[in-house]
């Protein structure tokens, strides 16, 4: 059973609007979370991370929110750009960092 879930396989957003990608996890021991972006035929690239001691981390247009009680995190992209069109994966690990668990990904399409 997957410990990290991304229940929306795809999302379509108009350029300039906000994109919100969601991720849920089941393991309460997870305390470090990351988002990766993946273009076709390439490996994933790191986007942003957050540790469990925070509930928000911001980097330019990208903000990650963590709700530990709900075991939920989200990635906000504002404003969305066509170049943001990609598959986004969330990932989580426990304190020992040995193993990362990835969600199944959400394909974002930003329409011009």
* Subset of residues 49 to 88 that bind another protein, contact rule: CB under 8 A: 49
**Rounded distance, CA 61 to CA 94, Å?**
27
Residue linked to tokens 């066509």: 82
Which of 19, 25, 44, 50 forms a contact with another protein (CB under 8 A)? 44
Least CB distance from residue 97 to another protein, whole Å? 3
State which of residues 45, 59, 72, 81 lies at the interface with another protein (CB under 8 A): 45
How many residues lie near another protein (CB under 8 A)?
26
Instruction: Pick one of 1, 41, 83, 112: the residue that binds another protein (CB under 8 A).
Output: 41
Among 34, 50, 73, 110, binds another protein (CB under 8 A): 34
Binding status of residue 99 toward another protein by CB under 8 A? yes
Check binding of 97 to another protein (CB under 8 A): yes
What string of H, E and C letters represents the secondary structure of the chain?
CCCEECCCCEEEEECCCCEEEEEEECCCCCCEEEEEEECCCCCCEEEEEEECCCCEEEECCEEEEEECCCCEEEEEECCCCHHHCEEEEEEEECCCCCCEEECCCEEEEEEC
Question: Which residues of the chain form contacts with another protein (CB under 8 A)?
Answer: 2, 4, 6, 32, 34, 36, 41-46, 49, 89, 91, 93, 96-105
């Amino acid at each position: 059973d997957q410990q990290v879930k991304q229940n929306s396989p795809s999302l379509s957003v108009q350029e300039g609007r906000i994109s919100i990608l969601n991720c849920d996890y089941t393991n309460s021991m997870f305390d470090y979370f990351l988002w990766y972006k993946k273009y076709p035929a390439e490996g994933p690239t790191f986007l942003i991370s957050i540790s469990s001691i925070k509930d928000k981390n911001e980097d330019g247009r990208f903000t990650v929110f963590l709700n530990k009680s709900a075991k939920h995190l989200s990635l906000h992209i504002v404003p969305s750009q066509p170049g943001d069109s990609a598959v986004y994966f969330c990932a989580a690990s426990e304190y020992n960092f040995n193993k990362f668990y990835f969600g199944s990904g959400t394909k974002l399409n930003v329409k011009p």
